[in-house]
Amino acid sequence: MEISELYADIIMDHQRNPRNYGTLEEKDVEVHTTNSSCGDEIFLEIKFDGDKISQIAFHGHGCAISKSSASIMTELVKGISKQKALELSKKFVEMVKIGKTQERELKDAVVFQGVSQYPLRTKCATLSWHALEEALKRTAV
């Protein structure tokens, strides 16, 4: 594996210009999740419209992998249902674990397949997804 595969252009782009970065004025749930092994942390905020994630934002501090992964995650789940978001999350976590996926729905997030080769860094990629799961769990009906 090359540096340019792990730090692919998409990842570098999202880490330089993270999407949905910041806070929401109105939110239904806020989650704070940390990666205790490295101290990275993310604050994730979501506003729902019925069952749909209508707005989502994150902030915190972390490495390029965790930041870009959070950025891509927010883009993926914005506008979809809780159920769908949970399914995506399972697929993402599975992909990072085994290092490959057939799931087209993961779109840009497939770029994190290679992280599986860096066991210490997989948590960076999944941090925001775990925050998402936590947020959805808290607002489960």
Site string for other proteins, 117-136 (x = CB under 8 A): -x--x--x------------
Query: Is the Cβ–Cβ distance between 66 and 125 less than 8 Å?
Result: yes
Query: Is the Cβ–Cβ distance between 53 and 80 less than 8 Å?
Result: yes
Q: Which of 125, 130, 123, 121 is nearest to 110 (CA)?
A: 125
Q: Which of 3, 138, 134 is nearest to 73 (CA)?
A: 134
Site string for other proteins, 65-84 (x = CB under 8 A): x-x-----------------
Site string for other proteins, 1-40 (x = CB under 8 A): -xx--xx----x-------------------------xxx
Positions in the binding site for other proteins (CB under 8 A): 2-3, 6-7, 12, 38-40, 61-65, 67, 118, 121, 124
